[in-house]
Structure 1
Amino acid sequence: MATTDLSTQHNDPSFASLWEELTWRGLVQVSTDPEALREALDGEPITYYCGFDPTASSLHLGHLVQLLLLRRLQLAGHHPIGLVGGSTGLIGDPRQTSERVLNSRETVAQWVDLLREQVQRFLSFDGENPARMVNNLDWTSRLSAIDFLRDIGKNFRVGTMIKKEIVAKRLNSEEGISYTEFSYQILQGLDYLNLYREYGCTLQTGGSDQWGNLTSGTDLVRKTEGAAVHAIGTPLITNSDGTKFGKSEGNAIWLNPELTSPYVFYQFWLNTADADVVDRLKVFTFRTREEIAELERLTREQPHRREAQRVLAADVNTLVHGAESTWQAADASAAVFGKGSFADLDEATLAAVADALPGVTVDRASEYTVVDLLVATGLCDSKSAARRTLKEGGVSVNDSKLSGEDTVVGPEARLHGRFTLLRRGKKNLAAVTFTR
């Protein structure tokens, strides 16, 4: 993942307060005392944190909301702490449906390192308010079971714990909930207490579906320290049709480019519906209110230009993967729509394009005519149909028009020695990948 260019990001000076900007961007679904929070955020710098559990080897789009919120608060002068849950990742917070499968200690430790690297790319560790990275295994591993129960567990009431939304759902399900997952909220509360004691941390952010866990921390600090601390729950991002944001047939959009290529990542944002694009610009970019208003106008008056989608895709892809990856992804997108050249793409981007398109993998040692490949890729349903299409001038190979039905697709037509792109008409595109 490319390093984020933090110097290009800024908060919008048109807002009277940071709290006003956060609410305008739709980043506050639920919170502790709003007036006290407004005063805290607009006053002297505070220390705040967000936690990320290593339940996979990469963060995904749902986490990006929190990463960018961490960055916005730091830009306003506050002191961020990025927490990766080496201990909570061994437990796993309760899911809506069923018990989590526990990962090995070795796997969790590897994922902690990977997630730490991802989180810290969105923060600055220099200047007057440098960020900190912490791992909650550092303090929980020192606790004995007796100390945990006596010093921490005694501050939690079972009646309150079972009223937490996800816990209540699981208790009423056939699966039920184990004591392991039931105790997760205590561990998260302990994180807040430790960070309050160690660094004076007074704000935690997280998704609104984590609200029960967030308030476990605020309650624990209040009971043990007599202090009022804060929490912000951001809304779960959904599309205008009600579908869960960031999911496509159950597949997450990962921030790790090896799991979701920059090209696929860029295309995801480029395909944002008109009804959703303004909200996405508010949450996922650092564009000002004035800039977003202009993009909203263009979307309303000239939707065919899809200017807002292009800005969204470029901004978010640059934040996550860097400017160079964004240029390649944009060039690839243009080539797919017949407005650019596949020959200009680097091998990794072209591989991602080929993977995203319908196509076929063939033996590089064999010889194939264009007719063979038109049928193999499914662009034509028979050799006779392929020959007819060729005679009509409706076929191109790597952007070059062809007419001869016996034309052999030789090594010179294999981009990076591996890929040939076939197009039938303007919109039907397929990829041929030759084995190495």
Structure 2
Amino acid sequence: MSQVYEELQARGLIAQCTNEEKVRDLLDNHQTTFYIGFDATADSLHVGHFLQLVVMARLQQAGHRPIALIGGGTTMIGDPTGKTDMRKMLTKEEINHNAECFRQQMRRLVDFNDGKATMLNNADWILKFNYMDFLREVGVHFSVNRMLTAECFKTRLEKGLSFIEFNYMLLQSYDFLHLYRTEDCHLELGGDDQWSNIINGADLIRRVEGKDDAYGLTFTLLTTSEGKKMGKTEKGAVWLDPEKTSPYDFFQYWRNINDADVIRVMKMLTFMPLDEIAEYEKLEGAGLNRAKEKLAYEITAMVHGKEEAEKALAAARAVFAGGASAADMPTTQLSADDLTDGQIGALDLLVKTGLVKSKSEARQVVKQGGLTINDAKVTDMFAMYGADAFGEDGMIIRKGKKTFHKVTL
């Protein structure tokens, strides 16, 4: 085994650990089974999940055995962590569909062949619970007073915490106990916002099994240098599903991150050797664009494959070089029904392409001089465009300096 723990530290990935000496030993000197949970709340994983998949893949490459635990059962309640309101209740059918989408996306980064990794669904045991048995086996070990001090509940107490959500910590803790018993799993990993849930799982194992050999490790959350969560754009979340976030938009998200974030993200999310990253760290000013381009290419290749990464890179370079008719630019196709008397307004174009959410937002873009159509800055709120404006290759819309979109008719 190699110095896995030290590598995670050097990449800025470790936030908290229940027992650093023991976890370091597990990761550096033993073949260890660990798990990470993923609640199936959407039909795609997003950038926040991606960090966890990268850590999972990194540990697998070091010889450890990952369990990707799909929360088919816990999703029926919804994790209150970081939420100001109760999550939307999903049906079993919706959850099962989302879980299958997760499986397909995870396979790009984690090798599930020949027992190298396992994918499980906690619905297989949670949905079979007898409530009274669960309360007697698990609930008896939890102090309500202590639970209320957990960060995951604090943010909800002002608006009100439902009883169904209050059960979430018990169920996640039981997951760890179940995997400890059935899969010889001694380590749970997760984002740092999961710290309270993770330490309660390890504590439950100690109380029920009488053993002190279950541990937790949390990752640094993927945030900007200002402390804001990464993975959000004006259009919403940055998804791993190419139908929800195109490979080009995905590439552009990483290509356009702040200068202050690029090296840190490169360490956390790529498999580039640290000495290679150190060379990029020497770049300054405009030279950082080379580092951003490398970062965007590496992450896009991991999620969408090298072919899509090459196409996104070529399209981005064409745009920056002024060749804004790049074939792989995100595209919206309009029909004759979208035109009124054969024309469409600039504001409607912005809304229909998804570059803004409303006409009022579109007006602000024009007012601030942030809209360019076919290389001409738009200053007239009521500018109209006929079919001839789309040409053979489509109309090119630029919002701000870096967001390009093609519209065809």
Q: TM-score range by the shorter chain?
A: 0.7 to 0.9
Contact 2:389 2:395 in 1 (8 A): no
Structure 1 residue 279: Cα displacement: 0.4
Structure 1 pair 43–434 and aligned structure 2 pair: CA distance change class (3 A): closer
Aligned to 2:407: 433
Aligned to 2:97: 110
> How far apart, CA to CA, are the structure 1 residues paired with 2:180 and 2:18?
16
Aligned to 2:250: 265
Q: Mapping of 1:131-210 within 5 angstroms?
A: 131-171=117-157, 173=158, 175-210=159-194
Structure 1 residue 226: Cα displacement: 2.1
Contact 1:361 1:432 in 2 (8 A): no
Contact 2:397 2:407 in 1 (8 A): no
Structure 1 residue 159: Cα displacement: 2.1
For structure 2, the 5+ residue unaligned runs are 351-372, 377-385
Does 2:14 match 1:28?
yes
- Secondary structure of 2:79's aligned partner: coil
Structure 1 residue 194: Cα displacement: 0.8
Cα deviations across residues 71-107 of structure 1 (Å, max 9, x unaligned)?
Answer: 1110110011001000001110114312122112221
- Secondary structure of 2:321's aligned partner: coil
Contact 2:374 2:395 in 1 (8 A): no
Return the letter of the residue paired with 2:176: Y
Structure 1 pair 103–311 and aligned structure 2 pair: CA distance change class (3 A): same
> How far apart, CA to CA, are the structure 1 residues paired with 2:98 and 2:50?
17
Structure 1 pair 85–376 and aligned structure 2 pair: CA distance change class (3 A): closer
- Secondary structure of 1:70's aligned partner: helix
Aligned to 1:60: 46
Aligned to 1:223: 207
Does 2:52 match 1:77?
no
Does 2:336 match 1:321?
no
Contact 1:90 1:105 in 2 (8 A): yes
Structure 1 residue 362: Cα displacement: 6.5
Higher mean alpha-carbon deviation, 108-117 vs 187-196, is at 108-117
Aligned to 2:223: 238
Aligned to 1:332: 315
Aligned to 1:363: 336
> How far apart, CA to CA, are the structure 2 residues paired with 1:186 and 1:35?
27
Structure 1 residue 116: Cα displacement: 2.1
- Secondary structure of 1:266's aligned partner: helix
> How far apart, CA to CA, are the structure 2 residues paired with 1:62 and 1:70?
13
Structure 1 pair 90–376 and aligned structure 2 pair: CA distance change class (3 A): closer
Return the letter of the residue paired with 2:307: E
Higher Rg: 1
For structure 1, the 5+ residue unaligned runs are 1-12, 379-393, 398-406
Does 2:232 match 1:247?
yes
Return the letter of the residue paired with 1:414: E
Structure 1 residue 288: Cα displacement: 0.8
The number of residues matched between the two structures is: 376
Contact 1:377 1:431 in 2 (8 A): no
- Secondary structure of 2:301's aligned partner: helix
Aligned to 2:379: none
Return the letter of the residue paired with 2:305: G
Aligned to 2:396: 421
Structure 1 residue 434: Cα displacement: 3.8
Structure 1 pair 308–185 and aligned structure 2 pair: CA distance change class (3 A): same
Sequence identity (%)? 38
Aligned-residue CA RMSD (Å): 3.3
Contact 1:377 1:430 in 2 (8 A): no
Cα deviations across residues 17-50 of structure 1 (Å, max 9, x unaligned)?
Answer: 1111101111111111111111111112010010
Cα deviations across residues 182-202 of structure 1 (Å, max 9, x unaligned)?
Answer: 110000011111111111001
Q: Mapping of 1:402-413 within 5 angstroms?
A: 409=388, 413=391
Return the letter of the residue paired with 1:325: E
Q: TM-score, normalised by structure 1?
A: 0.78
Structure 1 residue 432: Cα displacement: 6.2
Q: TM-score, normalised by structure 2?
A: 0.83
